[in-house]
Chains A and B, each alone.
Chain A
Amino acid sequence: MKSRLSGNEAVAYALQQLNPDVMGAFPITPSTEIPEYFAQYVADGQVNTEFVTVESEHSSMSVCIAAQAAGARSVCATSSCGLALMYELLYVAASCRLPITLACVNRALTGPININNDHSDSMGARDSGWIQIYAENNQEAYDNIIMAMPIGETPGVRLPVMSCMDGFITSHAVENIELLDSDVVQGFIGEYQPENYLLKKENPLAVGPYDVSAYYMEHKVMQAEAMKAAKNRILEVAADFEKISGRRYGLLEEYRMEDAELALVLIGSTAGTAKAAVDQLRAKGEKAGLVKIRVFRPFPGQELAKVLAGTKAVAIMDKSEGLAGGGGPLFAETRSALYDLPERPYLISIVYGLGGRDVKTDDIETVFSRLAHISSSSQIGPVYTHMGQRSKEETV
């Protein structure tokens, strides 16, 4: 079914189709509309969901953890400070192996307070043990959230899934979108059948122990194995999803990378802008390409290395300032992933778009001309820069 929806509305609609048992709800810009739309579905009796209007995001995640442990499917949505307030519980959710679904509408993390888009919120949670999938546009935001449960609930995975989209750019912009029928969605996710859960009559369960040194490490290794196993499961679910939707997804998306010598690696809605810039450069005969990271956790390191193996110079564009002193988090992951290549391209880190700073096709073209210069001169210049800002630092 064709429709026109904002990203938030699309995600809320998907959640209604998923019909979760429990939703924890707390407002924060720009994700607020998701629980608002959902509240209307509840008010209209369209879902079976216990809609728990908590007093904080800390409680929202706590409710989701408990409900999922009790045997229910639970969901919530948040952004920025809300995700930060959940931080402690994100680790609890993952270590208890609870496949909760969280819609993260990416927004800059305070301080200073800023309501616009960047990825500092979910990047701060990248090591919490959650699968992270990022959307480029409304369609992907809708599709990704529908794939979350079948990925997370698989016995070999059993991990929570964070489905991310860019605040305002994706969450508030109305776009054409193709929606699935609700019974198709229900058929796709199937019934939730956890092996053990708190409310199971036959077998009482204890969750969340005090874990001593003699066991803790084994439990962490099991979590690490689950995260590795998630990669394959994400691809399986994508293949099944293609059958019902005709839309194909991978761990990453290659755009005109066949013979690309100069490439960008980035996440989220900027891919749309970058694709337009790549097209313009290709029209001029430049061998430009783009890699959009769709799945950040588990990180598709080998896949990325394979795609970038033939390139000469690559800019890794981070929409969050990791404040590591040497480049953004995506840069660090990418550089590490490429270490095993026999011949590595030049790599630069460009931090951009913080707190909603705009990025245009011109900006992307500037990055490519920098890459072209690096490639032809074999001079890398500054490795770590910020784009589109007014301070003295040499940009791009």
Chain B
Amino acid sequence: MSKVYNLKREVEKPARLTGGHRLCAGCGAGVVVSGVLRALDQEDRAVVVNATSCLEVSTFMYPYTAYMDSYIHSAFENSAATCSGVEAAYKALQRRGQVEGTVKFITFAGDGGTYDIGFQSLSGAMERGHDMVYVCYDNEAYMNTGIQRSSSTPAFARTTTTPVGSAVKGKKQNKKDLTEILVAHNIPYVAQTAPIGNFKDLHTKSHKAIYTEGPCFLNILSPCPRGWDYPMEKLAQITKLAVDTCVWPLYEVEEGVWHLSYRPKKKLAVDEFLRPQGRFSHMFQKGNEWMIEEAQAYVDQKWERLLEHTGA
């Protein structure tokens, strides 16, 4: 990106994800997707690929599409393979001289479609080296089917398949670290970001991912007021808390080199992120203090590891 980032200029660009889609008010997904697509240079076209998810059913309900660019949805678990197919077609048609201009390929899938059912397809596409960007908008559960746990759901969270009862209290397992798994694929660019502040981090990383040749992966935190059970107007606050507690650190790995994008001036205690969300409310009941302690210990350990990786 040659120009210095300027939020005002960016939001004045014609939107590629238009309003009028059916995502819930305050949904992180719409903000994430429009933020990523805004990073496309205006003269370039894109083909957007989408896995079955809240995003898909809300943005392309026949006969209305919310996308200004071409778009394809095929199934839940194959968005990476689908993007591979479009990219392969592009290469073949380009050799035949049958396609004009620069076209970029961007996939959006939820955490379920990425960490779980679409994991094989994603790993395959990254290994093959297609020139594409895979974006996981991570809302930490299967939201479209009514808030079931995924391997991205954090420990103790209440979902409809990890309810809180007298014997079991929410999810038993920790969140899978997918970003690190993608780093292990040795692809040109992997980054973790969130729709935070003036969107500079999200924008810069999206632009890098889109304009770096080869397979690139973005994991973007995408709060869901319904599933996380917090008031919809608190999107910005919740996102900031996730980052400032180091629950969701912002970093990137470029050609194998780790770089920490943001270090909170004061690392907040994890309960500041947990408390506003209904999905964690049982952690604040008397006798459950150990849950918060465990959650804190997990975040601290991951954060320390990240600092080691990034040399920060």
Q: Which residues of A are interface residues toward B (Cβ below 8 A)?
A: 21-22, 24, 48-50, 52-56, 58-59, 62-72, 74, 88-89, 92, 96, 198-201, 204-212, 215
Assembled-state Cα–Cα distance A209/B99 (Å): 25
A200 to B, closest residue via Cβ: B70
Write the nearest CB–CB distance from B69 to chain A, whole angstroms: 6
- Tell me if B91 and A55 are in contact (CB < 8 A): no
- Tell me if A49 and B81 are in contact (CB < 8 A): no
B101 within 8 A of A: yes
Which of A92, A199, A212 is B93 in contact with, Cβ under 8 Å?
A199
Inside 8 A of A88's CB, which chain B residues have their CB?
Answer: 75
- Tell me if B89 and A71 are in contact (CB < 8 A): yes
Q: Which of B27-35, B60-68, B183-191, B247-255 contacts A (4 or more CB under 8 A)?
A: B60-68
Write the nearest CB–CB distance from B86 to chain A, whole angstroms: 5
- Tell me if B81 and A206 are in contact (CB < 8 A): no
Which of B57, B68, B85, B128 is A22 in contact with, Cβ under 8 Å?
B85
Q: Which 10 A-B pairs have the closest CB atoms?
A: A66-B85, A55-B124, A70-B89, A72-B89, A59-B81, A63-B85, A21-B92, A62-B81, A50-B88, A209-B62
Which of A48, A72, A212 is B61 in contact with, Cβ under 8 Å?
A212
Write the nearest CB–CB distance from A189 to chain B, whole angstroms: 14
Could you list 24 A-B pairs, sorted by A, with CB under 8 Å? A21-B88, A48-B92, A50-B88, A52-B88, A54-B128, A55-B123, A56-B121, A59-B84, A59-B125, A62-B74, A62-B75, A63-B84, A65-B85, A66-B83, A66-B86, A71-B89, A198-B89, A199-B89, A201-B45, A201-B100, A207-B74, A208-B74, A209-B60, A211-B62
B140 within 8 A of A: no
Q: Which residues of B are interface residues toward A (Cβ below 8 A)?
A: 45, 47, 49, 56-57, 60-63, 65, 67-75, 77-78, 80-86, 88-93, 95-96, 98-101, 103, 120-121, 123-125, 127-128
- Tell me if B73 and A50 are in contact (CB < 8 A): no
Inside 8 A of A56's CB, which chain B residues have their CB?
Answer: 120-121, 124
Inside 8 A of B68's CB, which chain A residues have their CB?
Answer: 204
Assembled-state Cα–Cα distance A71/B69 (Å): 15
- Tell me if A206 and B65 are in contact (CB < 8 A): yes
- Tell me if A66 and B90 are in contact (CB < 8 A): no
Assembled-state Cα–Cα distance A198/B28 (Å): 27
